[in-house]
């Protein structure tokens, strides 16, 4: 635990990726194997279930700190992190523990089944015996994940550095269901398995957004136009009768999309496809909102699977008949892809046929036609267009020149700041989470329509934060209502009617585009203006 | 109804019976000043009254002003109202202000801390009926460790940076925090360099207390000269080109706000030391108890929360709006160096 707490402290105290990797790698070299397994589990979101709910933790902490519960809650709102608040308010101890990390986690597993009294004495004893940082880490392990900017990918890189095993192979070893309570480090990481090499993906080719006029790209005939879809970019690998699905973050997500299991039977071995995972509720491509119900879930229930199935929209083919074909031109690869789809559609007549779809190539004659097509994107839940040069090879990483994304402009509206809340983590104790409102039909009342957390510079956040502190009307726990005075231009990607929102409208990815210091609140937009933006076809 | 001895008006804290203001935020005729931080000691009053020790400091900040000095415990009378200054322990020359009229006693703290920092006159509890207190850190998460521990950590940090061939850059306010840091840095580790703002203020304070030698960083200072040594700089220097020229360096901040993990990360400071010239939660409660006051007025900081807690403890506590910058966190320091932490 001591070593693990030190590790978390180091990770927490830097925002430089290299230093994080270094700290993790040195931990993986020093720690006991059994602790390493638990560390990997914690950093890959495989913690044992929460043994104690946070409500009782709060009341025990308040009791131990000898303060009323409301004061604990106020402190929590200001600190912005529950475990940190607890570690700060309970009486200080400067003892340190010799108990290994693995033992704490094993204790948590048995603790879950015990009654509240036993839980309480266990927790209180540990709080009083651990030093500040250990106390924080101990409580964090009970309450939830560490927000310390360590992705599974970063951890895998560090593990690779410490063990000298290839990163992609480690990523494969770490996927799937393994139980940190029973598996050994030897079995999980060190033992070599031939199948580890099967899963290796290719690096993704990524496009930049086009900033100049598209007409500058030359003859439109030299370009292929496809829709740009708003899902999860993914690589699907079929090798040796096995399926591997990699997300663009180079995370193995095979288990999250059971719909794709059928590809093993339908797609020949030695094939690697590049595409987009998209939600497909009610037989049509849905919005990113739909997909969000699937992301982050480790296990997918049958109901969810039926309600929000996913499909793969295939953009490209990188490996065919066990050969890397990335140096062929786009058109050559496209020809192979079309052949593959012909076979697929001939063999597959079942209802699952839709699960694999070929990205449409739109044939257009002029750049003006292209622009018109782009303008229609929102109606079909597409984000805009992709422009790909016909003779381009499949490159590595984000490169300019041959691939461009041409997204539709975000929708924007001028709204009034009405409520503010303190941020979390890096932004704790600073009002950075805002609620915005628009005028009702009569222009008499401001109606909340969206929350936004990003888009201002640090300097602007400071300015607005200080304004909020001076213009607070009322406080509701962590939330403050403020004098309606500041106007912001809010941008968002999509818009739809919604029953869950007071305004009756849901916006996708609302963020602050700029602070309209030139506008008075009377000049802000109305809800009617917002409604007028909803595409009529939906 | 009788006018209270002290009222909060648009200019500051006003004693009508004496026609005098305490730490006013707008220009007035006569002002009694607790200490020289910018939010308590403003420019433009016709007459200033403050502690002797504070006179060179306030003149350094405000220029030639009409100021008269008092000693601690020296009673002076204005229109039959008795005033006296008492050590506040906040920074050098800082005072609490006691006001007595017709048997009623009020005490205004300005800013204060109860720990002996080794350079400021140590806080003295003063018995009163009404106690006007700051509560910048009036929240249970704020708990200070004894300063010996903190300075041990700071010196160890410096020594470690030195062994890694790096320059240590330590941020603290030019008045108060900088001299407190300076006093306790272990100059056997290396040389102590200063930013101009800190050097100038320290020169003013040097005649009053014994401080280690410092070297001002000038255009002629080479960055290789600095390696392994420590640089004291005001927080506003963070991220400036002035600092960037010192590569390789590591930064640290010494402030009560460093209690929060988020505060340090937000400013991208490598290390945070929790060290404040204000009271922590327990310090405030201890100080209030020692005054034996029943009426408590909270002026700045987490006033609403703190006064609610005091009411639950049986005090007659309330909040008054002032322009003292209790919430002066790292998000606000850039525009207000000369403030506090």
Please indicate, yes or no, whether residues B62 and B169 belong to a single structural domain of this protein.
no
Cβ contact B260–A75 (<8 Å): no
pLDDT-derived band at A23 (thresholds 50, 70, 90) equals: very high
B340 pLDDT exceeds 50?
no
Q: What is the pLDDT of residue B341?
A: 40
Closest partner residue to B331 (CB to CB) among A12, A14, A430 is A430
B248 touches A at CB < 8 Å: no
What percentage of chain A carries pLDDT values higher than 90?
55
Please give the tally of structural domains in chain B. 2
Give phi and psi for B98, each to the nearest 5.
Answer: -100, 135
Nearest to B271 by CA among B249, B254, B247, B248: B254
A30 pLDDT exceeds 90?
yes
B217-238 mean pLDDT: 92
Is B1 inside any structural domain?
no
Is B259 inside any structural domain?
yes
Cβ contact A71–B262 (<8 Å): no
Please indicate, yes or no, whether residues B126 and B40 belong to a single structural domain of this protein.
yes
B28 pLDDT exceeds 50?
yes
Closest partner residue to B262 (CB to CB) among A67, A425, A469 is A425
pLDDT-derived band at B332 (thresholds 50, 70, 90) equals: very low
Cβ contact A78–B141 (<8 Å): yes
Residues in B touching A466 (Cβ below 8 Å): 331-332
Residues in B touching A92 (Cβ below 8 Å): 143
Residues in A touching B259 (Cβ below 8 Å): 88
- The CATH class for the domain spanning A205-407 reads alpha beta
DSSP symbols for A164-187: ---HHHHHHHH-S---TTT--HII
Q: Beta strands A208-209 and A511-515: pairing type?
A: unpaired
Cβ contact B140–A428 (<8 Å): no
The continuous run of DSSP H or E covering A446 comes out as strand A446-452
Please indicate, yes or no, whether residues B162 and B109 belong to a single structural domain of this protein.
no
Q: What is the CATH number of the domain that holds B84?
A: 3.60.15.10
Please indicate, yes or no, whether residues B85 and B174 belong to a single structural domain of this protein.
no
Q: What is the pLDDT of residue B68?
A: 97
A239-250 mean pLDDT: 88
Is B2 inside any structural domain?
no
Q: Which CATH number fits domain A2-143: 1.10.3260.10, 3.40.50.150, 1.25.40.10, 1.10.10.10?
A: 1.10.3260.10
Cα distance from N-terminal residue to C-terminal residue, chain A: 54
Is residue B330 classed exposed, middle or buried when 0-12, 13-18 and 19+ CB atoms within 10 A define those classes?
buried
Nearest to B274 by CA among A367, A132, A420, A526: A132
Q: What is the pLDDT of residue A3?
A: 93
Please indicate, yes or no, whether residues B111 and B220 belong to a single structural domain of this protein.
no
For chains A and B, CB pairs below 8 A equal 73
Closest partner residue to B312 (CB to CB) among A68, A88, A466 is A68
Q: Model confidence over A387-403: pLDDT tens digits?
A: 999 999 998 888 888 99
B329 pLDDT exceeds 70?
no
CB atoms within 10 A of CB A345: 12
Nearest to B123 by CA among B82, B176, B85: B85
Range of the domain at B22: 7-141+277-335
Please indicate, yes or no, whether residues B253 and B156 belong to a single structural domain of this protein.
yes
A288-314 mean pLDDT: 84
Please indicate, yes or no, whether residues B59 and B105 belong to a single structural domain of this protein.
yes
A239-259 mean pLDDT: 88
B214-229 mean pLDDT: 93
Cβ contact A15–B261 (<8 Å): no
For residue A429, give the DSSP letter.
T
Q: What is the pLDDT of residue A45?
A: 77
Q: What is the pLDDT of residue B335?
A: 35
What percentage of chain B carries pLDDT values higher than 90?
82
Which residues have a Cβ under 8 Å from the Cβ of A507 and sit 6 or more positions away?
A411, A449, A450, A490, A492, A493, A494, A495
pLDDT-derived band at B327 (thresholds 50, 70, 90) equals: very low
Which residues have a Cβ under 8 Å from the Cβ of A364 and sit 6 or more positions away?
A220, A225, A370, A373
Cα distance from N-terminal residue to C-terminal residue, chain B: 39
Q: What is the pLDDT of residue A61?
A: 97
Is residue A451 classed exposed, middle or buried when 0-12, 13-18 and 19+ CB atoms within 10 A define those classes?
middle
Residues in B touching A430 (Cβ below 8 Å): 266, 329, 331
Chain A interface with B: residues with Cβ < 8 Å? 12-15, 65, 67-68, 70-72, 74-75, 78-81, 84-85, 88-89, 92, 424-430, 461-462, 465-466, 469, 475
Please indicate, yes or no, whether residues B158 and B263 belong to a single structural domain of this protein.
yes
Q: Let me know: does A491 contact A510? Beta carbons within 8 Å.
A: yes
pLDDT-derived band at B76 (thresholds 50, 70, 90) equals: very high
Q: What is the pLDDT of residue A197?
A: 75
pLDDT-derived band at A13 (thresholds 50, 70, 90) equals: confident
Cα–Cα distance between A350 and A355 in angstroms, integer? 10
Nearest to A156 by CA among A173, A132, A180, A136: A173
A245-274 mean pLDDT: 90
Most confident of A423-427, A470-474, B147-151, B297-301: B147-151
Q: Model confidence over A220-231: pLDDT tens digits?
A: 999 999 999 989
B300 pLDDT exceeds 80?
yes
A254 pLDDT exceeds 80?
yes
B270 touches A at CB < 8 Å: yes
B133-153 mean pLDDT: 96
pLDDT-derived band at A130 (thresholds 50, 70, 90) equals: very high
Report cis status (omega within 30 of 0) of the bond before B254. Answer: no
B315 touches A at CB < 8 Å: no
B266 touches A at CB < 8 Å: yes
Task: Look at the block and give the residue holding tokens 């036993």.
Answer: A118
Please indicate, yes or no, whether residues B63 and B188 belong to a single structural domain of this protein.
no
A411-531 has which CATH code? 2.40.50.140
DSSP symbols for B82-101: EEEEEE--SSTT-EEEEEEE
A126 pLDDT exceeds 60?
yes
Cα–Cα distance between A214 and A237 in angstroms, integer? 34
Chain A: residue whose CA lies nearest to B143? A88
Q: What is the pLDDT of residue A49?
A: 83
Cα–Cα distance between A289 and A299 in angstroms, integer? 19
A293 pLDDT exceeds 80?
no
Please indicate, yes or no, whether residues B113 and B32 belong to a single structural domain of this protein.
yes
Cα–Cα distance between A257 and A235 in angstroms, integer? 13
Cβ contact A84–B271 (<8 Å): no
B336 pLDDT exceeds 50?
no
pLDDT-derived band at B276 (thresholds 50, 70, 90) equals: very high
Closest partner residue to B305 (CB to CB) among A13, A74, A80 is A74
Q: What is the pLDDT of residue B339?
A: 37
B140 touches A at CB < 8 Å: yes
pLDDT-derived band at A426 (thresholds 50, 70, 90) equals: low
Cβ contact A466–B265 (<8 Å): no
What pairs with residue A210 in β-bridges? none
Residues in B touching A427 (Cβ below 8 Å): 262, 266
Averaged pLDDT score across all residues of chain A: 89
Q: What is the pLDDT of residue A470?
A: 85
Chain B: residue whose CA lies nearest to A136? B261
What percentage of chain B carries pLDDT values higher than 70?
94
Q: What is the pLDDT of residue B228?
A: 95
Q: What is the pLDDT of residue A425?
A: 62
Nearest to B237 by CA among B193, B192, B182, B195: B195
B266-294 mean pLDDT: 93
Q: What is the pLDDT of residue A427?
A: 67
A267-294 mean pLDDT: 89
Please indicate, yes or no, whether residues B132 and B151 belong to a single structural domain of this protein.
no
B68-96 mean pLDDT: 97
Is B313 inside any structural domain?
yes
pLDDT-derived band at A477 (thresholds 50, 70, 90) equals: low
Domain boundaries, chain A: 2-143, 205-407, 411-531
Please indicate, yes or no, whether residues B248 and B292 belong to a single structural domain of this protein.
no
DSSP symbols for B127-165: --SEEEEEETT-STT--PPPHHHHHHHHHHHHHHHHHTT
Is B341 inside any structural domain?
no
CA distance, residue B308 to nearest chain A CA (Å): 9
**What's CA A535's distance to the chain center, in Å?**
27
Q: What is the pLDDT of residue A419?
A: 92
A442-470 mean pLDDT: 88
B337 pLDDT exceeds 50?
no
Residues in B touching A14 (Cβ below 8 Å): 270
ipTM score of the complex? 0.92
Q: What is the pLDDT of residue A537?
A: 41
Cβ contact B141–A469 (<8 Å): no
A429 pLDDT exceeds 80?
no
């Amino acid at each position: 635990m001591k070593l693990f707490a030190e590790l978390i402290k180091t990770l927490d105290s830097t925002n430089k990726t290299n230093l994080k990797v270094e700290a993790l790698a040195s931990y993986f070299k020093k720690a006991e194997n059994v602790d390493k397994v638990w560390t990997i589990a914690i950093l890959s979101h495989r913690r044992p279930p929460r043994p104690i709910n946070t409500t009782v933790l709060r009341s025990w902490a308040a009791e131990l700190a000898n303060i009323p519960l409301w004061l604990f809650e106020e402190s929590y709102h200001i600190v912005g992190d529950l475990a940190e608040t607890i570690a700060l308010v309970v009486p200080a101890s400067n003892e340190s523990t010799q108990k290994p990390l693995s033992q704490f986690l094993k204790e948590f597993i048995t603790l879950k089944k015990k009654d509240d009294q036993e839980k309480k004495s266990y927790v209180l004893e540990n709080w009083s015996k651990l030093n500040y940082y250990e106390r924080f880490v101990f409580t964090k392990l009970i309450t939830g994940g560490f927000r310390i900017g360590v992705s599974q990918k970063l951890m895998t890189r560090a593990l690779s550095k410490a063990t000298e095993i290839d990163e992609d192979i480690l990523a494969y070893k770490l996927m799937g269901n393994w139980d940190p309570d029973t598996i050994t480090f030897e079995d999980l990481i060190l033992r070599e398995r031939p199948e580890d090499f099967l899963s290796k993906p290719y690096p993704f080719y990524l496009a930049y957004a086009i900033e100049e006029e598209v007409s500058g790209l030359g003859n439109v005939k030299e370009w292929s136009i496809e829709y740009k879809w708003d899902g999860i970019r993914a690589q699907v690998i079929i090798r040796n009768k096995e399926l591997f699905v990699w997300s663009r973050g180079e995370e193995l997500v095979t288990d999250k999309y059971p719909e794709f299991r059928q590809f093993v039977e339908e797609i020949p071995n030695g094939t690697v496809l590049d595409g987009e995972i998209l939600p497909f509720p009610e037989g049509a491509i849905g919005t990113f909102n739909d997909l969000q119900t699937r992301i982050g879930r480790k296990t997918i229930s049958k109901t969810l699977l039926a309600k929000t199935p996913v499909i793969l929209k295939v953009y490209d083919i990188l490996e065919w008949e066990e050969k890397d074909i990335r140096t062929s031109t786009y058109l050559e690869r496209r020809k192979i892809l079309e052949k593959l789809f012909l076979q697929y559609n001939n063999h597959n007549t079942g209802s699952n046929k839709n699960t694999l779809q070929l990205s449409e190539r739109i044939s257009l004659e002029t750049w003006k036609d292209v622009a018109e097509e782009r303008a229609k994107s929102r109606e079909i839940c597409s984000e805009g267009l992709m422009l790909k040069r016909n003779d381009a090879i499949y490159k590595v990483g984000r490169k300019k020149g041959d691939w461009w994304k041409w997204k539709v402009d975000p929708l924007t509206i001028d709204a009034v700041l009405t409520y503010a809340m303190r941020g979390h983590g890096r932004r704790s104790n600073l009002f950075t989470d805002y609620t915005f409102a628009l005028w009702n039909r009569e222009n008499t009342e401001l109606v909340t329509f969206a929350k936004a957390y990003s888009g201002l510079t640090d300097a602007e956040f400071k300015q607005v934060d200080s304004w909020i502190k001076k213009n607070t009307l009322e406080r509701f726990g962590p939330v403050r209502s403020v004098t309606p005075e500041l106007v912001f231009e809010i941008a968002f990607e999509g818009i739809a009617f919604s029953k869950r929102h007071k305004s009756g409208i849901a916006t996708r990815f609302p963020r602050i585009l700029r602070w309209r210091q030139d506008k008075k609140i009377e000049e802000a937009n109305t809800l009617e203006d917002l409604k007028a933006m909803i595409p009529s076809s939906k | 109804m009788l006018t209270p001895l002290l009222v909060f008006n648009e200019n500051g804290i006003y004693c009508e019976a004496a026609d005098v203001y305490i730490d006013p935020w707008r220009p007035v005729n006569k002002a009694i000043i607790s200490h020289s931080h910018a939010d308590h000691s403003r420019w433009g009053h016709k007459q200033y009254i403050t502690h002797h020790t504070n006179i060179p400091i306030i003149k350094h900040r405000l220029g030639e002003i009409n100021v008269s000095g008092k000693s601690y415990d020296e009673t002076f009378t204005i229109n039959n109202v008795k005033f006296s200054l008492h050590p506040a322990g906040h920074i050098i020359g800082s005072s609490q202000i006691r006001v007595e009229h017709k048997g009623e006693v009020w005490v205004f703290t300005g800013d204060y801390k109860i720990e002996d920092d080794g350079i400021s006159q140590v806080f003295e509890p003063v018995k009163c009926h009404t106690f006007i207190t700051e509560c910048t850190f009036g929240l249970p998460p704020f708990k200070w460790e004894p300063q010996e521990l903190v300075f041990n950590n700071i010196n160890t940090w410096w020594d470690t940076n030195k062994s890694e061939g790096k320059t240590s850059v330590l941020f603290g306010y030019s008045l108060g925090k900088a001299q407190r840091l300076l006093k306790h840095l272990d100059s056997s580790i290396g040389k102590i360099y200063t930013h101009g703002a800190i050097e100038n203020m320290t020169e003013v304070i040097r005649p009053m207390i014994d401080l280690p030698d410092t070297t001002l960083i000038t255009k002629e200072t080479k960055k290789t000269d600095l390696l392994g040594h420590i640089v004291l700089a005001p927080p506003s220097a963070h991220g400036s080109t002035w600092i960037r020229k010192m590569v390789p360096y590591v930064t640290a901040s010494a402030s009560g706000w460093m209690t929060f993990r988020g505060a340090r990360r937000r400013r991208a400071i490598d290390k945070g030391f929790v060290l404040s010239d204000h009271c922590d939660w327990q310090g405030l409660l201890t100080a209030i108890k020692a005054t034996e006051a029943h009426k408590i007025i909270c002026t700045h900081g987490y006033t609403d929360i703190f006064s609610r807690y005091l009411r639950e403890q049986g005090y007659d506590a309330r909040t008054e709006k002032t322009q003292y910058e209790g919430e002066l966190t790292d998000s606000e320091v850039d525009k207000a160096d000369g403030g506090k932490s």
